Amino acid sequence: MNITLYGIGVSAFVAKVRIVLDMKGLAFEEVPPPGGYGSEAYRKLVPAGSVPGMVIDGTPFHDSNAMMELLDEIAPEPRLMPAEPFARARVRALLGFHDTRVEASVRALFPLVKRDWRAEREAVEAACAGIEAALERLDQLDAPAAVLAGEAPTLADLAYPCTLQMGAMLGAEMERPLRPPPRIEDWCAQVSTLPAVARSLALHREAMEGWMAGFRA
């Protein structure tokens, strides 16, 4: 297979697809979208114009969760989706919770770090509290249970580490450290020991550091 992953370094959505590619041992090329995502040049390759985008043997794909499931089907080892239907539904629900609740709450910090956040400390506090509330709810969903019990990770587990790193880095940048639930911290720490996850965390950290540096006075 000829696989190209289009993405930007600060994207946690790109990171989770990259992690699956690495865990499957699939060879791929990772490049930024030509002309930037949403550009006409990029839409000729990936019509949705979003990142991540992926092209496999000339066929374009978008939506990170759809890509993760596709990769699990075409390269079945190690298996990252459970065989049992209820368990698969739970993985998909946790992926959705990541995208709509956790990552979305972290993303609320982006416009603040671009501005004079020191003049908007109440907004910073509210945004960070929103992240913590989402993580508390995630803990109540018992998301960490399987991995902390020694079971193999699923696609859902792989989605969270880079997002939590992003939140932690943004919070630290704006002098408001995040306080996730202890089990969430332990869960992500355990998942982060996987070589594929550790590689993406390092790439993501470097990209985030460079991005945030551009907004410092």
What pLDDT does 36 receive?
A: 85
Is residue 59 a contact partner of residue 47, using CB atoms and an 8 Å limit? no
Q: Give me the architecture of the 85-213 domain, per CATH.
A: Up-down Bundle (1.20)
What pLDDT does 37 receive?
A: 81
Query: Alpha helices, DSSP H only, in the chain?
Result: 12-24, 40-43, 64-74, 85-97, 103-107, 110-114, 121-140, 145-148, 155-159, 161-173, 182-191, 195-213
Using one digit for the tens of pLDDT, what is the confidence trace for 74-111? 998 999 999 999 999 999 999 999 999 999 999 999 99
Those residues whose C-beta lies under 8 Å from the C-beta of residue 107, and which sit 6 or more positions away, are none
What pLDDT does 213 receive?
A: 96
Mean pLDDT for all residues in the chain: 96
Q: Give me the architecture of the 3-74 domain, per CATH.
A: 3-Layer(aba) Sandwich (3.40)
Using one digit for the tens of pLDDT, what is the confidence trace for 188-202? 999 999 999 999 999
DSSP-derived 3-state class of residue 98: helix
C-alpha distances out from residue 141 to 2, 145, 156, 172, Å: 38, 9, 13, 27
Using one digit for the tens of pLDDT, what is the confidence trace for 106-143? 999 999 999 999 999 999 999 999 999 999 999 999 99
The domain segmentation of the chain, as residue ranges, is 3-74, 85-213
What is the β-pairing status of strands 53-56 and 3-6?
A: antiparallel
